[in-house]
Amino acid sequence: MFQSKWVRIPVKIILIWLVITLYFYFQHPVVYRYLDLDANIPIGDAQLLLHEIQVSNLDEDKRYDWIDDEEMPWRIRISHRMYEWGLPSSWRNPVYKVLMFYSWPPLAEDFWTYRISGTFISPEDLDVDKSVLDNFSVYVFPAMRNSSGSQWEGTLRNAAMISARGKINRQQLDNPLNINVVDKENDRTTRLVITPQWQKERLIYGVSRIEQYKSPARPVERFMYNIYAGQPQQARDHVLPELRHNFPLPALNEQLKGQDIEIAGRLSWLDIYNDYLNVYRMDAEVGRPSENSFTPVQKLTFYLLLDENGNYKIINWKSAD
């Protein structure tokens, strides 16, 4: 069978391509995830809920070095050129993914980047001109203390999704870790001692498919957008899988039919809800987009939890009208 050159040549090409592909696969960074943090820590009158810690050997410090250089990487230049040529995104995106796969992302050697993510919930609406990170700090020990944080509020009036980052020696991942949360308002430190059971994944295409900020509001937004777009099956994709069959859907409000919608709301935390542990409650308001003000037309209460992959899913809802 393989004696003919018309067979041998394609087989050799395929084998060479497979070897090259395997090589580049292992050039991409890895991420270790621990999803069972489930810590609820008081910060003044508010609460900080920590859910996940990630550690990756992607060198965040060198990832965007090209921005300061005069010449950008060839794959970025090709992507820009495709955009200038007017090629549709349905063509550009697959090509860009291929270019990113067959590349060498910057990898850290000794000190990897850790990221702790969670949710800060205040009993009062947040001041958009202030950072909730002024109220507390989060860092891992033993690790490099110079950690940094960031936040994202989205559509929630009283809550912010937080992310705390720092550097940690790769060898420390095999040992228990101390997560220290400093309440700056009360000058109090809470220490969590964990022995993570890491889940290992590989980051492809230069970016993580793991979202930096995960908000309980996001599946609620997408759920309601699908409802008003007449996409009931897509709406159920945001429901916990074992509850999707015959999951009831809210009725459309007559004033919002055929309209663009906007969603806002408040977040709270429940230790137990209908035999589920660690549940978020979102009191959502649905209305029309407006430049000056938001007028709620429909009010609903949603209950959500984190699934085994660390993604928020809806487990129930009720009308609050």
What would be the CATH architecture of the domain defined by 217-319?
A: Roll (3.10)
Residue 151 has which token pair?
């936040």
Q: Are 66 and 73 in contact (CB under 8 A)?
A: yes
Model pLDDT, residue 63: 62
φ, ψ for residue 221, nearest 5 deg: -60, -50
CB within 8 Å of 20: residues ≥ 6 apart = 102
Q: Are 218 and 237 in contact (CB under 8 A)?
A: no
| Per-residue pLDDT tens digits of the chain, which is 321 residues long | 556 777 788 888 999 999 999 999 898 888 899 988 889 999 989 999 999 998 998 887 776 554 455 566 677 778 778 888 888 878 888 888 888 888 888 888 888 988 899 999 999 998 878 888 888 888 888 776 556 677 777 789 999 998 888 888 888 888 899 999 999 988 999 999 999 899 998 877 654 445 566 889 999 999 999 999 999 999 999 999 999 998 999 999 988 888 888 899 999 999 999 999 999 999 999 998 877 777 889 999 999 999 988 899 999 999 986
**Count of all residues that appear for the chain in the document:** 321
Return the closest-CA partner of residue 268 out of 47, 24, 68, 114: 47
In the chain, how many H helices and how many E strands? Answer: 5, 14
Which CATH number fits the domain 30-61+106-202, given the four candidates 3.40.50.180, 2.40.30.110, 1.10.760.10, 2.60.40.10? 2.60.40.10
Q: How many other C-beta atoms lie within 10 A of the C-beta of residue 294?
A: 13
Residue ranges per structural domain of the chain: 30-61+106-202, 65-101, 217-319
- pTM of this prediction? 0.83
Return the closest-CA partner of residue 212 out of 314, 113, 315: 113
Residue 55 has which token pair?
């550690």
Rounded Cα distance, 51 and 34, in Å = 8
Model pLDDT, residue 70: 54
**Cα 111 → chain centroid:** 23
Query: Hey, what long-range contacts does 176-180 have (CB within 8 A, 24 or more apart)?
Result: 177/53, 177/140, 177/141, 178/140, 178/141, 178/142, 179/37, 179/39, 179/50, 179/53, 179/116, 179/138, 179/139, 179/140, 179/141, 180/138, 180/139, 180/140, 180/141
Model pLDDT, residue 81: 82
Residue 190 has which token pair?
């809470």
Q: How many other C-beta atoms lie within 10 A of the C-beta of residue 153?
A: 17
Task: Determine whether 139 is exposed, middle or buried from the number of CB atoms within 10 Å of its CB (0-12, 13-18, 19+).
Answer: buried
Q: Are 130 and 120 in contact (CB under 8 A)?
A: no
Model pLDDT, residue 209: 47
Q: Are 150 and 122 in contact (CB under 8 A)?
A: no
- Tell me which H or E stretch contains 189: strand 188-194
